[in-house]
Amino acid sequence: MCRFTYAVTLGRRVLTAYLQLFLHSSSALHPLDDLDAIMSSTLNTNILGEYVGPEWGVGRVIRWQPAAPAHKLADMDKEVDVRRQVGLYKVQGEAVEAILGGIYFQFVSNVLFTCIDEVMLSIVHPFRAVR
């Protein structure tokens, strides 16, 4: 297994564990809330890439080219739709997971939990007004 894949897997598992701890300690959680749905929607790789990736500047440091042909990209109107359809958010989300996995592997300390707190705030902040 390559190091990037290992870091992504490790980062995803650390995020999942930390989010479960966060949710179970939350006073806003109701007994009827579906934890699986909350977990899957919050830790969706595309969501991480859309909200956390730009905050961390991941797009400036990754080397990535869309797999779609240039003429297909020129036909798309909205910039957000282009990013979503060509996979930029997915790639940035996996990079965020790999960064957290690398931090966990290297430090396994409060540095990791500080980073994860930033991730959770980046994801939860846009949706706070919804609830």
The pTM score is: 0.70
Q: Say what the alpha-carbon torsion angle 39, 50, 84, 38 is, to the nearest 10 degrees.
A: 10
For residue 71, the model assigns a pLDDT of: 65
Residue 125 near residue 47 (C-beta atoms within 8 A): no
What is the overall mean pLDDT for the chain? Answer: 77
Q: Which domains does the chain have, with CATH numbers?
A: 3-127 (1.10.1520)
Mean pLDDT across 63-68? 73
Structure-model confidence comparison of residues 83 and 6, the more confident one: 6
Burial label, 31 (beta-carbon count in 10 A; 0-12, 13-18, 19+): exposed
104, 33 contact by CB (below 8 A): no
Pair 116, 15: CB distance under 8 Å = yes
Q: pLDDT digits over 10-54, tens only?
A: 888 888 888 888 888 888 888 888 888 888 888 899 889 989 998
pLDDT recorded at residue 79? 58
Residues 49/89, Cβ–Cβ less than 8 Å: yes
Tell me the mean pLDDT in the region 71-84.
59
Which of 53, 70, 71 is closest to 62 using CA atoms?
53
Q: Indicate the pLDDT class of residue 129, thresholds 50, 70 and 90.
A: very low
pLDDT tens sequence across 81-121: 555 656 888 889 999 998 888 888 887 766 667 777 777 76
Q: How confident is the model at residue 130 (pLDDT cuts 50, 70, 90)?
A: very low
Helix, strand, coil percentages for the chain (3-state, nearest 5): 75, 0, 25
pLDDT of 80 over the 60 cut: no
Q: What DSSP letter does each residue of 74-109 carry, written as one string?
A: HH---HHHHHHHHTHHHHHHHHHHHHHHHHHHHT-S
